[in-house]
Structure 1
Amino acid sequence: MRQVVRIAMVAGEPSGDLLASHLIAALKQHLPDAVFYGIGGPKMDAVGFDSWWPLEKLSVMGYWDALKHYREIAGIRRQLKKRLLDQKPDVFIGIDAPDFNLGLETDLRAAGVRTIHYVSPSIWAWRGGRIKKIARAVDRVLALFPMEPPLYDKERIPVTYVGHPLADMIPMETSRAAVREKLALSRDGPIFAMLPGSRQGELAAMADIFVKTAQIIREQHLPTARFIVPLTTRETRLQFETAIYRQGATDVPFRLLFGHARDALGACDVALVKSGTSTLEAALVKRPMVITYKIARFSYWLMKRMAYLPYVGLPNILAGRFVVPEVLQDQATPENLAAELVKLYEDKDNAEAIQETFTDIHYQLRQNTAEKAAQAVMRCLN
């Protein structure tokens, strides 16, 4: 009788949920009877994953948020480790979430479980010393970005460059007119996409700033401007609606969407995007953007001290230069953000140059990621 392959996974962010769901689907093509379990999100659940805890339990923002939830997260990790050591899966795949997964992977590997870390921690941006910990923790790293494998090769850590699944999913060209028609929007006039984040903590920090930015654009610069805001949950939608009322901006033409971030980006001329995976999505849709965020002061201070690069946004990191502006922390005022967004909207030559750079990035990242990652997992299993 054929033995069932057991694959444990932990994802701690919506972006990890997406990556893992594609990997599970690809692995099922090779291992139709395999079982998948651990910590995951709705996309993983939809392809047959058994979530022992939902990923929201691990989804924290910055050091201060992590400290507030430390006891609960540490308790989950203890229980998870015990269950996994009792059951001994054939392989454990940590999807990003390095602060949670690397320690778990170290313990599992020491107990004889093969371990893979999918998404390299940002050792090229900050905390480069973690590569020693990664070497102890994993049998292989699956890297999303082309600048990562040489760092692991240097330390003789097995690594496979798999590209990024968003580059496979998003077409090379997105017709602005077609998306506007799909959303029943006029083809004319400036449209700004506003992506303030997917978590309630992010909305708490950014919603009022985004609303006020839209107000300033309408009142001081572009009176015909409209704004599309994709939000992931009822809670984040309510937070944004509350910010609209709090700022007295009920006359600003906001179009709130449930999800559909890619449609919002496709329809817009320029986007305002909270730093994170959404900035990569905006780059792959080839839209100019302003990247922003605000986090707890202590978290920001710590990250600045430990950072190696002058930029935080993925599009700029991948290009190796400031392709689009980053307006962060204390500089992230509605006035500054509005000025940068309007400048991007009005500079059509710059928009064309940005599009060319983003097209180059798209080709680099388009690697049939899920299948490449599945093949690497199969080699580890065999």
Structure 2
Amino acid sequence: MASSADQSVALVAGESSGDLLGSRLLAGLRAQMPDLRLHGIGGPHMAEQGFVSDWPMDQLTVRGLFEIIPRYREIKGIQNALRDKLLQERPAAFVGVDYPGFNLGLEEQLRKAGIPTIHFIGPQIWAWRGGRIKKIARAVSHMLVIFPFEESIYRQAGIPVTYVGHPLAEVIPMQPDMPGARWRLGLSEMTRVVAILPGSRMSELKHNGPGFLEAARLLRQRDPSLQFVTPMAGEKQMVFFNSQIEQGGYQDLQIKLVLGQSHAAMEAADAVLVASGTASLEVALFKKPMVIAYKMIWASYQIMRHMGYQPWVGLPNILAREFLVPELLQDAATPRALADAMWQQLEDHAHQRRLVHRFTEMHHTLLRDTSKESAQAVSEVLQGRRPGASRI
């Protein structure tokens, strides 16, 4: 086998959550193969591991079935250009980090050309679009999954799979340090804190922001001492959300906007109003009460709600197999409903204690040395071995 100095591995992460997850894999891979050349598309966390992004990750970040239409030609052009680059380079392997709409199509073409393909984080076929399993079988040489129940799904479909645990379970402490987080963010320890997380994408801010802000106003009417903190994924998002605050007349709420630091905001909070997605799982790992909410354009929602296989959309509820925390989606996510649900999360102390217990159990279930486990699986693919075969 060629030395790692002679090899390259290409990766694609299309959004901030994938960038963080991908960085954990790269940290383990760097430890095993320090000279490996790493490039593709990724963000700042992956760059910290020596990853070189051939295109800015922001050019891929979009969510929703109809929201992608105006950007389809641009994104398809990037996919084609990257495909041609990789077919010429022939990396030792390609790793698609989540972002299945882009990565599975690319993986199918690369695998057909003889390049091993690894998909890190299985698409949520257990939640919706189960027919994707056939495309995955064609596109993916090996699947790395982050939830334990996913292994049997892929094995039954004949897809090689390894459960590597969830990287966030390693990053987030088992015992949150609320006073320390409040000190870091400049928040008072004397009054309650509500973290508001309307999403990291511009489209999410557009659809979720106004309702989340009005809910905050209603909560402040019930408790004038409440503090609000909102982490922003980037400068562009901060400017946009600040404009929503000004245009809606919410300056009196004195919401503390911080760049990044989403984990500090969650850790500092008594309760969190969070857009559905990976962030809701992060809140659960911080053992916090929450309300999960989401809005998107009407047409996208009508299609997606008919494609779901189970009654939950929030990851904490999916993992628990019950409605541990409220979910308010689309028309149900009115400011009044959000405020009422959040108030209950703040006031119901027995519920809070139950959540701490359940979320702690969840944390232990997801906790593995994900960086090492995922890197080991990738390393074995590079060596031409089936991951896990030597460990059975």
Give CA-to-partner distance per residue, 1:288-342, whole Å, 9 cap, x none: 0000110111111111111101111111111111110001101111111000000
Q: What pairs with 1:164-203 in structure 2 (closer than 5 Å)?
A: 164-203=166-205
1:351 counterpart letter in structure 2: Q
Distance between the aligned counterparts of 1:266 and 1:79, measured in 2?
41
- In structure 2, the partner of 1:295 is 296
- In structure 1, the partner of 2:262 is 261
1:118 counterpart letter in structure 2: F
- In structure 1, the partner of 2:28 is 26
Aligned counterpart for 1:129 among listed residues 108, 113, 131: 131
SS in 2 for 1:229: strand
Distance between the aligned counterparts of 1:276 and 1:330, measured in 2?
18
Deviation of the 1:185 alpha carbon: 2.4
Task: Tell me: CA distance 1:25–1:175, structure 2 relative to 1, closer, same or farther (3 Å).
Answer: closer
Distance between the aligned counterparts of 1:38 and 1:181, measured in 2?
38
Distance between the aligned counterparts of 1:156 and 1:352, measured in 2?
41
Runs of 4+ with >3 A deviation: none
Distance between the aligned counterparts of 1:68 and 1:311, measured in 2?
29
- In structure 2, the partner of 1:378 is 379
| Conserved? CA contact 2:30–2:49, under 8 Å | no
Deviation of the 1:189 alpha carbon: 2.1
Deviation of the 1:97 alpha carbon: 0.9
- In structure 1, the partner of 2:115 is 113
Distance between the aligned counterparts of 1:345 and 1:31, measured in 2?
47
Give CA-to-partner distance per residue, 1:230-284, whole Å, 9 cap, x none: 1121221112221222222221131111111111111111100011111111000
Task: Tell me: CA distance 1:80–1:184, structure 2 relative to 1, closer, same or farther (3 Å).
Answer: closer
- In structure 2, the partner of 1:356 is 357
Normalised by the length of structure 2, the TM-score is: 0.95
> Which shifted more, 284-293 or 225-234?
225-234
Distance between the aligned counterparts of 1:314 and 1:194, measured in 2?
18
Deviation of the 1:372 alpha carbon: 0.3
Give CA-to-partner distance per residue, 1:154-202, whole Å, 9 cap, x none: 1121000011111001110112233223333222222100011112121
Give CA-to-partner distance per residue, 1:84-137, whole Å, 9 cap, x none: 111111101011111111111111111110110000000100111111111111
| Conserved? CA contact 2:128–2:308, under 8 Å | yes
Distance between the aligned counterparts of 1:230 and 1:86, measured in 2?
41
2:178 counterpart letter in structure 1: R
Q: Which runs of 5+ in 2 are unaligned?
A: 384-392
| Conserved? CA contact 1:207–1:239, under 8 Å | no
2:341 counterpart letter in structure 1: E
| Conserved? CA contact 1:162–1:368, under 8 Å | yes
> Which shifted more, 283-292 or 235-244?
235-244
**Root-mean-square deviation (Å):** 1.2
Give CA-to-partner distance per residue, 1:23-53, whole Å, 9 cap, x none: 1121111111110111111211222112111
SS in 1 for 2:205: helix
Q: What pairs with 1:263-342 in structure 2 (closer than 5 Å)?
A: 263-342=264-343
Q: Which runs of 5+ in 1 are unaligned?
A: none
Deviation of the 1:352 alpha carbon: 0.6
Distance between the aligned counterparts of 2:250 and 2:12, measured in 1?
41
- In structure 1, the partner of 2:370 is 369
- In structure 1, the partner of 2:77 is 75
| Conserved? CA contact 1:191–1:267, under 8 Å | yes
| Conserved? CA contact 1:8–1:93, under 8 Å | yes
Normalised by the length of structure 1, the TM-score is: 0.97
1:78 counterpart letter in structure 2: N
1:346 counterpart letter in structure 2: E
Distance between the aligned counterparts of 2:79 and 2:290, measured in 1?
37
Q: What pairs with 1:56-75 in structure 2 (closer than 5 Å)?
A: 56-75=58-77
- In the comparison of the two structures, how many residue pairs are matched? 381
Deviation of the 1:60 alpha carbon: 0.7
2:33 counterpart letter in structure 1: L
- In structure 1, the partner of 2:8 is 6
- In structure 2, the partner of 1:101 is 103
SS in 1 for 2:91: coil
SS in 2 for 1:132: helix
1:195 counterpart letter in structure 2: L
| Conserved? CA contact 1:162–1:372, under 8 Å | yes
- In structure 1, the partner of 2:155 is 153
> Which shifted more, 201-210 or 355-364?
201-210
| Conserved? CA contact 2:151–2:163, under 8 Å | yes
SS in 1 for 2:144: strand
| Conserved? CA contact 2:143–2:162, under 8 Å | yes
1:349 counterpart letter in structure 2: A
SS in 2 for 1:251: helix
